[in-house]
């Protein structure tokens, strides 16, 4: 299962999680912006590779609002495009 959202919202949420954890006295994980951007930049292609490998019985991708891909009900196997659209904010 993969959960994705726009890169901007992902970065904002990462910073919010850090601040909340720090304020609560928990171990706060600070993420470098460059590392975040690398991960979001590679997510779509890496997901495509994992899905194409057929090593997973089930594969699902969720936005924050809904499921956007399910291997069990797939009509569109261009998973990389679906994820990249979420990351770039080009959802329909």
Please list the residues that pair with 70 across neighbouring strands.
60
| pLDDT tens profile 1-55 | 999 999 999 999 999 999 999 999 999 999 999 999 999 999 999 999 999 898 9
pLDDT score recorded for residue 65:
93
Between 79-88 and 7-23, two packed helices, what is the crossing angle to 10 degrees? 60
Position 78 confidence tier, pLDDT thresholds 50, 70, 90: confident
pLDDT score recorded for residue 75:
58
* pLDDT at residue 85 greater than cutoff 70: yes
| Bigger pLDDT: 61 vs 78 | 61
């Amino acid at each position: 299962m993969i959960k994705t959202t726009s890169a901007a919202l992902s970065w904002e949420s990462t910073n919010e999680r850090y601040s909340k954890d720090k304020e609560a006295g928990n171990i706060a994980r600070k993420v470098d912006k460059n590392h975040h951007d690398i991960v979001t930049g590679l997510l779509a292609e890496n997901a495509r590779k994992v899905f194409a490998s057929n090593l997973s019985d089930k594969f699902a991708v969720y936005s924050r609002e809904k499921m956007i891909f399910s291997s069990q009900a797939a009509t569109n196997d261009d998973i990389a495009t679906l994820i990249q659209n979420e990351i770039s904010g080009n959802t329909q």
